[in-house]
Structure 1
Amino acid sequence: MVCCLGALAGGGVWAAGGGGFAGLGEEATGFAEVTPGRTFFFPADLGAHPDYRIEWWYVTANLKDAAGEDYGVQWTLFRQALEPGPQREGWASQQVWMGHAGLTSRETHRFSEAVARGGIGQAGVSAQPFAAWIDDWTFASDSTAGDGLASATLSATGADFSYALTLKSVRPMVLQGDNGYSVKSDHGQASYYYSQPFFDVSGRVTLDGREIDVTGRAWMDREWSSQPLAPGQKGWDWFSLHLPDGEKLMLFQLRSDTDAPFYAGTWIAAGGHATPLDRGDIVLVPLRTHDVAGRQVPVEWSVEIESRGLRIATTPLNPESWMATSFAYWEGPVRFTGTHDGEGYLEMTGY
């Protein structure tokens, strides 16, 4: 859910400390607006939407090796338009790109960041066949059938880690919020938001030159907007959880300096049917904080969804899962126990 492109603008559109986390609450005059009732088309909506100011392609994966050891993988590509208006070619392009890659184990957390200017081929996204890339990091379909993501490959390389994975799913995309219209505040901010939470994964990760075969599950999020946050919203806590029997749960709270937290979530049946959760049905309580990069970050949580009889506690695979990127945040795999047992990912910003 995170977007962190302000560094590419030299502080321009997004400046740290203003307009909500990473400037995502700044006014976006001249850019396209997010409104209810949009119809989504696939694979077209896998591609970029340059009339909107911000956009991201986001994949997280919970993985195991043959010995049962756990790993987590993150792959993200962000796009930001520095100014509205007709799209320009080459070096004149107003699009900038940033990539984040992470690999987490119980003992270590590795990450890398890449930046690029649009218009010169260094980074970009095509819809059909789907391909998203920045430098040699890629997330690309190897199928032209259906929605374009029945089978895909995912790869990235950092200074001391890499991964190359195959993702497969026969499920359709899941529209979050009100048929893809995801409200983020009581002041009307929103994004277009859909997910593919049903990927099966196989492939290989590499840590310090050691190659490790892995299998597991992955979750893709796609969002675009021009102003997804209210100015006072300083950060969020976002969960993507794989429940027993194939069900999925997405939920988040947006924290504010001026308003009560804003909650939203979606309960996803094993067959893919999505049911938005009532805001009053979501209870998130920090259980334990951990000192990460000189900040107290709540790495363990109690999560309750009364209507679904869910009461769980989450614990991180590695509490040191800090992404010390241009806009720093915590992102890592978690496990949970209680009325439901499973695994997933947690992202926390603004701490």
Structure 2
Amino acid sequence: MNARLLALLLWLPTLACAQGFAGLGTDAEGFAPPDPAYRLTFPADHGPHVHFRIEWWYLTATLKGEDGTDYGIQWTLFRSALAPREGDGWSSPQLWMGHAGLTTPSRQFVAERRARGGIGQAGVTADPFLAFIDDWEMRATGPGIDTLDLTARGQDFAYALSLTAEGPIVEQGQHGYSVKSRDGHASHYYSQPAYSVSGTLNLPDGPVKVTGQGWLDREWSSQPLSATQSGWDWFSLSFDSGARMMGFRLRDTAGDFTAATWITPEGQAEPLPDGALNVAPLATSKVEGRAIPTRWQLKLPAHDLDIEVDAVNPQAWMATSFPYWEGPVRITGSHSGKGYLEMTGY
């Protein structure tokens, strides 16, 4: 059997396990469970955690062209493991997938890459930090992840961006232990939510110079969801006041689960428990034959937050091996600003 075909066949059972839906509630016997006593350590935790089943390096940016047009980009590298170990060559049980998205007000550009670990086609190193798949890169240009160069390309788009952190790394949940269900399912999770971004988008009509804000999420686990959870609605919001918020709703037949982190302009994080954040869809759009919520109301009474979140492009559909909605949003109401929204499992 052709080695690449074998790698593809090995990948297929885990395709749905790479991001938070459709399989992340299945048993993960033999893999490491998240530990609430664990404390994040850098730069080591910028790298892979091969004893855990799933992991991702996920960066989004809200951008603006010189003419005022809004854009958004996504760059994600997923690691999914067949076994909790390293390996050389084709014997490696580590599988990799890359997603790149570029959103304009009227178009959505999408690309996907897949790779098998151990053959040099994809991987991550912690120090100096580099995450790559084929010729897509998230590469540190200084210590840690404070400054990054980011590149990706698809059939009809590309981008090359430089990012500089303007605040500290944020630990999500309690010391980076992020609970995802009332049953106690969890992940290790941290963010760098305060990048300034500049660079160039290459679109069919030509290059576009852009500036804006970026947000990097790092998360790893083995079974982060409950078997009754079908997907999530995840928000990363940057307010004009300088404050930021991460919040999510996990849809569950036993009752939805929510969590949030409020981040001050100085980068101090306050984790907020299930129920503190109220998330309600206000309007849907027909996207690929599905009704997708593209306008939301979010309320966080602890910080007098009552906002509406609207998609820049309601058709920001990621038509990848496991399809989902992902795109930039505008914020109005008690707080104004921009952010990113990801919706899985619809």
- TM-score w.r.t. the length of structure 1 is 0.94
The DSSP-based 3-state class of the residue aligned with 1:83 is coil
Aligned to 2:136: 137
Deviation at 1:87, TM superposition (A): 1.9
Deviation at 1:10, TM superposition (A): 4.5
Deviation at 1:278, TM superposition (A): 3.0
Aligned to 1:265: 260
User: How far, CA to CA, are the matches of 1:239 and 1:179 in structure 2?
Assistant: 20
The DSSP-based 3-state class of the residue aligned with 2:299 is strand
Contact 2:73 2:102 in 1 (8 A): yes
User: How far, CA to CA, are the matches of 1:188 and 1:266 in structure 2?
Assistant: 18
Aligned to 1:24: 24
Q: Letter of the aligned partner of 2:103 in structure 1?
A: T
Deviation at 1:79, TM superposition (A): 0.1
Matches of residues 13-52 of structure 1 in structure 2 within 5 Å? 13=14, 21-52=21-52
Matches of residues 17-166 of structure 1 in structure 2 within 5 Å? 21-84=21-84, 86-143=85-142, 145=143, 148-166=144-162
Aligned to 2:216: 220
The DSSP-based 3-state class of the residue aligned with 1:279 is coil
Q: Letter of the aligned partner of 2:209 in structure 1?
A: D
User: How far, CA to CA, are the matches of 2:107 and 2:180 in structure 1?
Assistant: 33
Aligned to 1:278: 273
Q: How big is the alpha-carbon RMSD for the aligned residues of Structure 1 and Structure 2?
A: 1.5
User: How far, CA to CA, are the matches of 1:283 and 1:8 in structure 2?
Assistant: 41
Aligned to 1:253: 249
Question: Among 227, 240, 260, which residue is 1:244 paired with?
Answer: 240
Deviation at 1:83, TM superposition (A): 1.9
Question: Among 179, 187, 195, which residue is 1:191 paired with?
Answer: 187
User: How far, CA to CA, are the matches of 2:16 and 2:137 in structure 1?
Assistant: 28
Q: Which runs of 5+ in 2 are unaligned?
A: 1-7
User: How far, CA to CA, are the matches of 1:110 and 1:307 in structure 2?
Assistant: 38
Moved over 4 A (4+): 13-16
Contact 1:77 1:133 in 2 (8 A): yes
- TM-score w.r.t. the length of structure 2 is 0.95
Contact 1:150 1:168 in 2 (8 A): yes
Contact 1:14 1:26 in 2 (8 A): no
Alpha-carbon displacement from aligned partner over 1:203-243 (angstroms, at most 9, x marks no partner): 00011151000000000000000001011110000000001
The DSSP-based 3-state class of the residue aligned with 1:218 is strand
Q: Provide the identity percentage.
A: 53
Aligned to 1:172: 168
Deviation at 1:15, TM superposition (A): 5.6
Q: Which runs of 5+ in 1 are unaligned?
A: 1-6
Alpha-carbon displacement from aligned partner over 1:76-117 (angstroms, at most 9, x marks no partner): 000011123x42211100000000000000010101000000
Q: Letter of the aligned partner of 1:301 in structure 2?
A: W
Alpha-carbon displacement from aligned partner over 1:123-143 (angstroms, at most 9, x marks no partner): 000001000000000001011
